Structure 1
C-alpha cells in the first residue's frame, strides 16, 4: 500500500481514500501485493515528470502528487496514473529533441474536465470518453480535478494514421458514440491488466487491441469528416424514431442520438442543411398531435391531450399552442370545430 498523509484530494496531494478507490476500480483488494507505483510529489515530482515527457506544472506545485504504473510491451506502452490537477504542455522544442511518432488512446475517470488544445482545435473531455491525442505535434492539456487516467501509447503507423488526409481523422478526438465509449472501457481494462496487474500480454493480444482501437477511430473519423454522405439516412432514421416515441415526454434529441449511436453534436451536423433541428421536429410533431386531438375530440381533457401528445404538462401544451397560433386550447378547439361544421354544411 502506498502510504500518504491523510490530506484533501486535489488540495494537498492525494487523499488515501482516493488512492484506495483507484485500486478498487481495478479490482485490487490488497495493493501491497502489487509492485508499488512510481510516485511523483511536489516540485521535485513535477520536475522529474517534465524531464521524462513534457512540461508539467500545477497551480500549487508543493501539493502536486502522481502515482503511475507504466509498462513497455512489444508494440506499444500501457500507462495508468492517478494524479492531482495539472497542466501538461508538449512543446515543439521537446518534439524536435525527442521525436515520438506515437498516439495516446486514453480514458479518464474524473469529476471535472480535461481540456486539450492541438492543431488549432480545442476539445473538452468528460469521464468515459475515448481520447485520442498525437504526440508528434505540440499540445496543451489541462486537468482541473483529480484524475484516474488509463492509456495506451501506440505507434501512429499501427493505427493507420498516416499522411493521407482523406483517411486521417483530425486530432485530438473526443469521441462520444456507443462504440467509442465501449472502446474506452476496453482501453482502461487492457492498460490496467498490462501496467497495474502485470498480466501476460502476447503480440497477438496487442494486435487484436490495436485493431479494435483502429476500427473505433475509423468510425469516429467517418462521422467527423463525411457526415453529409449519410445525412439523408440519419435524418430519415431520426424522423422515424420521433414518430415512434414522441408520446414519451422524456424522449428528446439526446435520446435520438443515443439510439443512433452518435453524439448529439454529430446528430445536429446531419441536420445542418435541413429546415428543422431534431428538437424542433419533435416539438412540431407533439404539437401537431395535440392540435389534431383538440380539433377532433370534445371528451378529452387538456391533461389527457397533453399526455397523449408527449407534453410534460397541460401548461406546457397551453404555452406551446399559444406561441404557435396565438390561441388558447379552448379558443383553438372552438375555432377548429366551427371550421369543421362549416365544412360539413358546405358539403350538403
Structure 2
C-alpha cells in the first residue's frame, strides 16, 4: 500500500496521537515531546527497533520500505510501548530467550492493518482490530503485521504478577476475552503510555508501577481462571515439546533441562507429561536427529558421516552411530552405501 513506501504525514501522526490518548477525546490537548519519539526507516530502523524492543528481532521485505515511529518508556521493571509502523514481522527466537531469560508477559492490542500471531503449537492466530492478545517471553513467537499498524502494549515480569507460566500455557495463541475489563484496561494503558511516555514533564506517581501490575494481574486472571482438565493441559505441553524438538533439534544444547526451562517446568513435571513415551523426551530428541541424519545420508554424499552427525545435533559420533544402529539396524555408513546402491534398508519400528 502507498503508506508503506513513504514517511508518515503530520495528519497521520496527529491521528495516531489522538487514538493513543483515547481518554482525551479526538483532540489531543497536549502535543507529544518530539524528543521522546523515535523515527525509524529501512534496515537501520529495523535493527534499532530490535534493540529498543529487547524482546524480538524485527524484519521486513523489502527492508528499505520499512517506516515506523516508536514510543517507548520504562517504569521500573515494566516496559510500555506504542508504534505507528508499516509491514513488519517480530520474531522471538531461542537466541533472544538465551540473552534475556526473565519470564514476562507482553499484553498488547492493535488498530488498523492485520496481525497474525503464533506462539506454541497450532496455526497462526489472526488478531482482530482492538482485540487484546498476549505472548510469553519464555517461548519463541512470531507476530506478522500487515499494512499500516498501530500496536501498543505493556510487558510485565511474571514474578511481579505472582502468576506461573504453566498456568497460562493452555491459553497461548488465544486472545484475551473481549470483556468490559479488557477494553477498559487497554484504553487506560494506551492513555497512560501517551501521558507517561510522550508528554514532556509528565509526573508519574510512586504507586503507578503497582497500579499497572494490579491492572495486568486482573487482565491475566481472566485467562488463568479458564480451568481446563489436566489431560487438556497435557496435550498442550506435549504439543509444545514436539514443536520445540522439531524446530530446534539440530542445536546440540537442546537438552531436557533446556526444554523444561523454555516451558517453565521442572524436569519432574516434564517427565510426568511423557511417562508413556518410549525412551522419554531424550528419545524423542534423538529420533528427530536420527531422521534428519538419515535424510542427509541419502542426499548429501559430499558430507562425511561425522559432519552429518554434528549437523543433526549430536555431539558425539559414537553416540550417533549407536542410536542409528538401534533405530535402523545398520550403521550410518552401511545405510549410506545401500542408499547409493539403490537398495532399500528396512526401517525398524
TM-score, scaled relative to structure 1:
0.56
Confirm or deny: 8 A CA contact 1:92 1:138 kept in the other structure: yes
The 5 A counterparts of 1:149-228 are: 149-165=151-167, 170-175=171-176, 176-197=178-199, 199-223=202-226, 225=228
1:8 maps onto 2:11 in alignment: no
Q: CA deviation at 1:20?
A: 2.2
Distance of aligned partners of 1:60 and 1:200 in 2 relative to their CA distance in 1, 3 Å threshold: same
CA contact (8 A) 1:133 1:173 kept: no
Please show how residues 285-304 of structure 1 align to structure 2 within 5 Å: none
In 1: Cα distance, 2:39 partner to 2:215 partner: 31
How many Å apart are 1:134 and its aligned residue?
1.2
1:74 aligns with 76
Aligned match for 1:131, one of 118, 130, 133: 133
Q: Residue 245 of structure 1 corresponds to which residue in structure 2?
A: none
Report the 3-state secondary structure (helix = DSSP H, G, I; strand = E; otherwise coil) of the residue aligned with 1:9. Answer: helix
Conserved 8 A contact 1:40-1:65: yes
For residues 100 and 115 of structure 1, what CA distance do their matches in structure 2 show? 25
Q: CA deviation at 1:28?
A: 3.5
SS of 1:211's equivalent?
A: helix
| 8 A contact 1:115–1:142 mirrored in 2 | yes
Retained in 1: the 8 A contact 2:33–2:198?
Answer: no
Is residue 45 from structure 1 mapped to residue 39 from structure 2 by the alignment?
no
Deviations 1:209-265 (A, max 9, x none): 221221122123334747xxxxxxxxxxxxxxxxxxxxxxxxxxxxxxxxxxxxxxx
Q: Does residue 101 of structure 2 align to residue 107 of structure 1?
A: no
Larger Rg: 1
**Contact 1:74–1:203 at 8 Å: present in 2 too?**
no
SS of 1:82's equivalent in the other structure is strand
Q: Give the alignment of 1:308-327 within 5 angstroms.
A: none
Deviation at 1:86, TM superposition (A): 0.5
How much does 1:98 deviate?
A: 2.8
Check the 8 A contact 1:118/1:137 in 2, yes or no: yes
Aligned pair in 2 of structure 1 residues 168, 63: CA closer, same or farther (>3 Å)? Answer: closer
TM alignment of 1:260-339, pairs within 5 A: none
- Residues 15-56 of structure 1: per-residue CA shift (max 9 Å, x gap): 443222112323545646553411111111112223453321
Cα shift readout 1:328-348 (whole Å, capped 9, x = no counterpart): xxxxxxxxxxxxxxxxxxxxx
3-state DSSP of counterpart to 2:125:
strand
**Distance in 1 between residues matched to 2:105 and 2:13, nearest whole Å:** 27
Alignment counterpart, residue 21 of structure 1, candidates 15, 20, 34: 15
Q: Which structure 2 residue ranges, 5 or more long, are not aligned? A: 22-26, 230-349
Number of the residue aligned with 2:256: none
| Structure 1 position 35 matched with structure 2 position 8 | no
Higher relative contact order (Cα pairs below 8 Å, separated by 6+ residues): 2
Which string of whole-angstrom CA distances, capped at 9 and with x for unpartnered residues, describes residues 307-340 of structure 1? xxxxxxxxxxxxxxxxxxxxxxxxxxxxxxxxxx
Q: Alpha carbons of 1:32 and 1:206: their partners in 2 closer, same or farther (altered >3 Å)?
A: closer
Could you tell me how far apart the structure 2 residues matched to 1:171 and 1:158 are? 20
Partner Cα distance (1:224, 1:192) in 2:
35
**Structure 2 CA distance for partners of 1:33 and 1:207, relative to 1, 3 Å:** closer
Aligned mates of 1:88, 1:14 — CA distance in 2: 21
2:85 to 74, 77, 83: 83
Which TM-score applies when normalising by structure 2?
0.56
Query: Is residue 36–residue 197 contact of structure 2 (8 Å, CA) maintained in 1?
Result: no
